[in-house]
Structure 1
Amino acid sequence: MIKEAVVSKTVGVVGGGPAGLMAADILAAAGLRVTVFDAMPTVGRKFLMAGKSGLNLTHRDLQTTWRHAYSGAAGRLEAALDGYSVQGIRNWCQTLGVETFIGSSGRLFPKGMKASPLLRAWLGQLSDRGVTFATRHRLIERNEDRWLFQTPDGERTYVFAAVILAMGGASWPRLGSDASWVPWMAREGVTVAPFRPANSGFEVVWSDIFRERFSGTPVKAVTATSSVGTSSGEFVISQNGIEGGLVYAHSRALREQVEAEGSATWPLDLAPDRTVEEISRQISRQPHKNSLSNRLRKGAGLDAVKIGLLREFASPLSAEENAGLAHLIKALPLKVTGIRSIEEAISSAGGVAWSEVDNDYMLKRLPGVFVAGEMLDWEAPTGGYLLTACLATGRAAGEGAKKWLSRREQAADPA
């Protein structure tokens, strides 16, 4: 039996991730009554998972790199990101009693590195502002102005003054971002771009020997090139391929090439601090009685995993071709054969098309309904850009809802 709870003066925020919580914060700070709904038993689960290895809040160079980081969606995100500086986020954290620091990579972290203290303080502030939380409430569909939820007490319908949708994309579905909203959103006539993995691992066909020896091994001090540019960092060898920061920085380019051609070639510079000539000269100086591995280790500064990569993608290697070896070391053609599943990806590409939302993040087809976070069609590399855009679009949607409610109130009471 469907129970009905008509709450027409409450703003409903559906999704308790950073975008939804920021929207709720903006609305509650303005004195509006807000309820946050989440399908999971607790809110912020993906936020907490992201902080397990150090919560990356934003990037010091955000204001100079955001256009490149957000690629095709940069123009639509510009207004939301305007004024979103490192110092602004640091100040916000400080109001919650959380101290921050900027690491050598330019990334901003809480001093404790974890997400849980920040989330606890944030939820406390929201509660103090009157925000209520309805967990284990899964949105099923919308029917005109009524919103149907599956709750622990059965199905229940709600009516809201306005709604913020911030239910996430399609990565890490076990934490709540399962894209279950796509079918009913499509029934409303809203265009949703198909979800694809972003910041994901990729499949590589390793030899049994290489996989057994190097699975789990980091490949450090590497420079990689793709259509998104050239960058340095490290990645990790997995059982079935590659993953890690440097891979994620190039994941959009690799994904697009794999989708278009079935595979991708990723040029790697295994010795970025040396020239081809220096490598060739140093290898040639090594005693010929030494094994090729020792010559590469001593002459080119390669460790075991880099030598293993050379053998995987440039076999057979010849100890007599120093110049050829040097060129391979500077541009190793690592072949990617597939994309890991979206369930394993850190984030997702795809979502509600930008053509469906106005400048206040309101759905054009559904007045009073706003969208934020990874529900929208954008992607970005790791490094603070993901969380920044979630917070920024959550704030923008909250501000948009405030404006829309104010206009309605003025229209209802022109005096």
Structure 2
Amino acid sequence: MSNSGGKAAIVGGGPAGLMAAELLASSGVHVEIFERMPSPARKFLLAGRGGLNLTHSEPLPAFLERYGPAASRFSPAIEAFTPADLRAWSEGLGMPTFTGSSGRVFPESFKASPLLRAWLGRLGALGVELHARYCFQGWDEDGRLLFTGPSGERLSREADATLLAMGGASWPRLGSTGGWAGRLASRGVAIAPLRPANCGFETRWSAHFIERFAGQPVKPAALSFAGQRVRGEPVVTAQGIEGGAVYALAALLREAIAARGEAVLELDLRPELEAAELARRLAKAPARHSMASRLRKAAGLSPVAAGLLRELAGPELPGEPEDLAARIKALPLRLHATRPIERAISTAGGIVLDELDERFMLRRLPGTFAAGEMLDWEAPTGGYLLQACFSTGAAAARGMLAWLAEQPRD
């Protein structure tokens, strides 16, 4: 990119903000990042605790479909900074990547902290200034950015272009509180309500079931809802159920609960067997076997799966093999609420996408751009969340460079 000059302020030190900072500083823009936490990218570090899933290796057309209603708007940004570009960028930081058996892409170190350290080192070498413990308060009467500093002091800052990248409202202890929503709404920016995404759901387990099985995965299993079927290993919690397969259906389940007060999720506890084959195996079980033995030996159910069957179907299970097989293959689980937004992996809602022009600039606030989870979109886990944050941060940086190039210079 050509040297653009000028000053840019980035509010938020997550992946979207840091990526924008790198591209802007590489083009000669003086960049200041204002982060409300003591250090940047805390949620990024948490995401990498069990292995940093940077992106996914599936073909780009299928990849883009993961963004649902936002796909058409996000496609140009992701096509301009693709999963392959993200992998090359990581390798440029000395962090080669590999593709796991599920198609997910990870750095070879498998952790977020080495990548973040290398990245912050690069930003420092580019002259990016990072101000920690500065909390965004909006704008003053002259349009300057307002912050409260580490000691409660107020700071105003003038910038030629501003990027807002403050995240959603999940895991607020890591910095993303969603407190910006009211400040932008007061400036006339339309904000869709922030809601939990990639979240667990609540049901009413018996005390005995919770004591026996809370924290255990159900494997293998398949989950079905509203015509969608997902294989995975859902995890029983004291409050209900969570896990990757649940997250993949979370948007549909959440909206059904909002509309009707509940959602009935269907569990298949033996997804690799057809119902007829399962019934045949049950029919072959010796008559002397107890129901517990039939479920364990003939049906092949794990203790937690058998516990689920009894919990949801009742202690008096069907005696006929066909009826029992049908219950095992289609077990209804009634969900009545999402887990709190503070416990969600990500959030839906945020700045309505129509509020942004094609450069990711807010139409009502010229010179102010937005990227990342502040925007109204959602996607499943598997690398799609981080990819969109990186890609929209890069797209906003390109928009900021174009904007800066258009502005008169003193």
TM-score (norm 1): 0.95
Match of 1:91 in 2: 88
Aligned partners of 1:203 and 1:240 also within 8 Å: yes
Match of 1:3 in 2: none
Structure 2 CA distance for aligned equivalents of residues 267 and 89 of structure 1: 37
Cα offset for 1:337? 1.6
Matches within 5 A, 1:322-401: 322-401=321-400
Q: CA deviation at 1:104?
A: 0.3
Structure 2: stretches of 5+ with no match in the other structure: none
Task: Indicate conservation of the 8 Å contact 1:62/1:86, yes or no.
Answer: no
How far apart, in 1, do the equivalents of 2:280 and 2:81 lie? 49
Letter in 1 for 2:218: V
Task: Verify: 1:136 aligned to 2:133, yes or no.
Answer: yes
Which secondary structure state, in structure 2, belongs to the residue aligned with residue 81 of structure 1? helix
Contact 2:169 2:341 in 1 (8 A): yes
Aligned pairs for 1:36-185 within 5 A: 36-61=33-58, 63-143=60-140, 144-153=142-151, 154-185=153-184
Separation in 1, partners of 2:227, 2:321: 31
Structure 1's 378 and 384: CA in aligned 2 closer, same or farther, altered over 3 A? Answer: same
Aligned partner of 1:33 among 26, 30, 33? 30
Question: Deviation at 1:183?
Answer: 1.4
Between the two proteins, the alignment pairs up a number of residues equal to: 404
Q: Report the equivalent of 1:5.
A: none
Q: Determine if contact 1:313/1:332 at 8 Å carries over to the other structure.
A: yes
Instruction: Determine if contact 2:6/2:404 at 8 Å carries over to the other structure.
Output: no
SS at match of 1:272: coil
Deviation at 1:208, TM superposition (A): 1.3
Report the TM-score when normalising by structure 2: 0.96
Alignment partner, residue 406 of structure 2: 407
CA distance in 2, matches of 1:167, 1:35: 14
Alpha-carbon RMSD across the aligned residues, in angstroms, is: 1.4
Q: Aligned partners of 1:63, 1:334: CA distance in 2, in Å?
A: 34
- Contact 2:310–2:317 (8 Å) recurs in 1: no
Cα distance in structure 1, aligned partners of 2:370 and 2:325: 51
CA distance in 2, matches of 1:228, 1:273: 19
Q: Separation in 2 of the partners of 1:112 and 1:199?
A: 25
Other-structure match for 2:16: 19
| 360 and 228 in structure 1: CA distance in 2 versus 1, 3 angstrom threshold | farther
* Mapped partners of 1:376, 1:70: distance in 2: 12
Supply the distance in 2 between the matched residues of 1:228 and 1:315 (Cα, whole angstroms): 26
Specify every segment of 5 or more residues in structure 1 that has no aligned partner in the other structure, as ranges.
1-7
Is 1:264–1:336's contact at 8 Å kept on the other side of the alignment? Answer: yes
User: Is contact 1:165-1:369 (8 Å) kept?
Assistant: yes
| Sequence identity percentage | 49
Distance 2:393 2:225 in 1: 32
Instruction: Tell me by how many angstroms 1:356 deviates.
Output: 0.6
- The structure-2 alpha-carbon separation of the partners of 1:406 and 1:9, relative to structure 1 and needing over 3 Å to count, comes to closer
2:87 and 2:97 in contact (8 A); partners too: yes
